[in-house]
Amino acid sequence: MQRMWYDPTTDRWSVDLQGRRYELHCGETLELYIGGEPVLCSVEMDRQQWYFVIKDVRFYLRTSDEYVVSI
């Protein structure tokens, strides 16, 4: 599991992979941990905001929050 955070200087969400920063791109698939359970999702961006797609449900990411994911 890794933490995912937003970097306003690059306008991208990033993940720490073994001490190296990895910037996420639209359409990338990952597991988001909700209540300790992994849920398969993809990360996308509309005109101005990033969001997750889980099956056919979408929700926007809060840039002030961090998320626990697995890539």
Show the domain range for 10.
2-70
CA dist 42 to 18, 19, 25, 69, Å?
Answer: 21, 23, 10, 11
Q: What is the CATH number of the domain that holds 19?
A: 2.40.10.390
Beta bridge partners of residue 13, listed in sequence order:
6
Residue 9 has pLDDT above 90, yes or no: yes
Please provide the average confidence, as pLDDT, over all residues in the chain: 94
**What pLDDT score was predicted for residue 47?**
87
Domain count, the chain: 1
CB 36 within 8 A of CB 47: no
Summarize pLDDT for 18-42 with one digit per residue, the tens.
889 999 999 999 999 999 999 999 9
- The pTM score is 0.87
